[in-house]
Amino acid sequence: MKKIRIGLLTEIINGHSGSRAPLEIGKHLAILGHNVTTYAYDTMRDVETEKNLQRDRVKIVTFTQNKTPIIGKYISAVFLYKILRKDKPEVLIFAGTLPFFLAGKLSGIPIIRLFMGIQLDALLENKSPDEKTNIFDTLINQLGNLVIYLTELISFKLSSKIVAISKFAAKQGERLFSRKVDCSVYLGATSLLAKNVIQTPKKYITVISVSRITPYKGFHFIINALKKINSDKKIKFTIVGSQPKKNYIKYLKKIGGEMVRIIIDPTDGKLAKLYQRSDIYACGDKYLYFGLPIMEAAQFDIPTVSMDLAAAKELIDHGKTGFIAKTPEEFRNYLQILIENDQFRQKLGQNAKLKTLFFSWKRCAKQYEKIIKKTLQ
């Protein structure tokens, strides 16, 4: 296949949370030999992520976001439009907000939308369990839902092709926007290497959970489950994430006490060490459209216990690579089973590691390569 000029509209050059997915896709398309350029704002730039992209010959184009309230991003989109008209990529992969999409659409370049699901109730979902809501909050939340839906609808309807990150995400998109998703392509499992970790006898079982530190990720739900476990073993819960909500952090520390450790924005190397020193991955994410950390943890022989939410069944083989709970009681029981049974936990962890072989970025990029070819034809 000939080299294709591919533009990646991703807004942020950062390896944390959902920002990693489009960057990994672009990186591995470059490894396949294509000319990939990432377009993003010059804020929240992660040096390590930039170096990794540049090492694999991904070109990075950044520009300053206009700070004018409400219309600032749209003003910036005019500048992006001019850059795209000048660079002339043959196809765009979009994973951002509406202004970036409009710049790409107006440039006349075919757009493949990376659909990672839609989150409604943004205001209420971000409130800590101990925060009260009022009628005003509810009204603002409903208005926010309308804005979110309409902006997502525009890019969903006007993209050349739609690629979802899971079958669950595909079904949600088709239901909400009445358009057939072209295909679902699973993301890869990022390889994280732990260096210079001295293995010492462990005095406790470590449960880990990684994501943006916001209430709908369910960290408080996990803490409450762990507190109800009756075991002779000491349990530690490590929360790792980015973009923390201050009130939520305070709440987690209050209910978790000494059992909880919170790590903010670790490097990939530090994250790898945290995985290496952990035993169980726990997930209470209400919007689990894929779950990169589940796959990352599995590479370190760590099984997962998750609530039966969103795409959990697509990532976890119940009873083989972890457990999927339908109730809070089941969630607690499955955690207790893995805490008490070392050999069984290790067996499930080994099975989980084998499952990650299916979720590779190379495979993901090759599927995108086929989609790009069909788009250009």
User: Each residue of 303-325: pLDDT tens digit?
Assistant: 999 999 999 999 999 999 999 99
List Cβ neighbours of 163 (8 Å cut-off, separation of 6 or more): 112, 113, 114, 115, 181, 182, 183, 184, 185, 368, 371
Among 60, 57, 55, which Cα is nearest to 13's? 60
Placement of tokens 């697509």 in the chain: 314
For the record, the structure tokens of 175 come out as 């239901």
Q: Where are the domains of the chain?
A: 5-188+360-376, 204-358
Sheet holding 5-11, edge to edge: 59-63, 35-41, 5-11, 91-94, 111-115, 161-164, 183-184
pLDDT at position 200 is 55
pLDDT at position 242 is 85
On the question of a common fold for 5-188+360-376 and 204-358, the answer reads yes
pLDDT of residue 87 exceeding 70, the answer is yes
| Per-residue pLDDT reduced to its tens digit, 35-84 | 999 999 998 888 889 999 999 999 999 999 999 998 999 999 999 999 99
Q: What percent of the chain has pLDDT over 70?
A: 97
Q: Could you tell me the fold of the domain covering 204-358?
A: Rossmann fold (3.40.50)
DSSP 4-66: -EEEEEEE----SGGGHHHHHHHHHHHHTT-EEEEEEESSS--HHHHHHHHHTT-EEEEEPPP
Q: Which CATH superfamily is domain 5-188+360-376 in?
A: Glycogen Phosphorylase B; (3.40.50.2000)
Strand partners, 112: 93, 161
Q: Are 3 and 33 in contact (CB under 8 A)?
A: yes
For residues 160 and 17, which has the higher predicted lDDT (pLDDT)? 160
Angle, vertex CA 213, rays to CA 209 and CA 219, nearest 5:
50
- β-strands 91-94, 204-210: how paired? unpaired
